[in-house]
Structure 1
């Protein structure tokens, strides 16, 4: 499948909704955290596969604002897993020239998580092969709300003129400012929704949904998604005939 990927037509930015950890664990008679633990291999494989191909941005929906409503034991275990995984993987990110960034209301994360994330981002800040973006305590509505709040403040201070606001202006106030919008969104587990993820940024994104549960996702599945993306015609509201011209 990798040989079928056209490296001259890669999506610059791929976003992933990593879904199905709980169901994967349940199928094996384990607790939900068992699925989260086994999802680390899928993350590692996907990051390596994307970087090897030449994808420039990979955004992983790791923890939504709604996930705070899950059982306290699961949330606590997830936070501990996040800390230990980042600590273990930072050297590998540097070795592979991958920069780490985060989007989301990260101030709501436990102090230990914030510290590990900050250290990892500083240690990888000079890497340029690919940017790995972790969406943590993130939701699309939160992103748009904080963007509107900051933009309103700048309008009030005379920094931005209200009648000069464009789509590009709004994009600059989102947490993904400076990054291209995703061209491809992959969602595992077969669920057919975007779950409050990158609502503004996904306006013209191609969706690829697989029934595979996230802990089973590997490089070859990433390649399959990219090949499927490359076989599509992206019209952005135009007709096929207009694209040919």
Structure 2
């Protein structure tokens, strides 16, 4: 089924839970990236631009390459997903098939990264560290772009500053805050905390957490898509 047509309805519980799972995956990736991959973020490009500026201001190479790798990786991931999903209309009740394919691709990339991470014993360095850093940024760029392409059935999952500001404005100014926003904010903290705990208790397994969370999100989001397809097939019959 091609994802043409006008958005209608609103996202159900499964889609909202899937978004929360992706936010948790983002928190796990950011923890691993910042603590083990040269202190840059995989999905928060505002911070990486600031880190790049600081590195330039120090007139030293320390941090410059890391920030550039993260920025380039994020841009590549987002650009690829933008190309794959170009011209497709998002729905309000489910994620379009091409968005799902992009998230599956992200999960595959994270699985490869988890394998490399495990092979390094949870302590990558040199070229391996750079490759993991770039790969994590590609994954986060792909995830961010996929959520943009999903339209009203999604929400930001890799950067939540705007989400927090909107929640405060709507809560204070209009009295209609989104009750799922605290869940997403909590998921970011939980994902980061879980990744940090794994790094301490079982370093080699920490890299697998983002992969597991993205897979959980995809599996959760499949049902609304299947329901949509079944309804469309029933109308055609």
Q: TM-score range by the shorter chain?
A: 0.3 to 0.5
TM-score by length of structure 2 reads: 0.33
Larger relative contact order (CA 8 Å, sep ≥ 6): 2
Larger relative helix fraction = 2
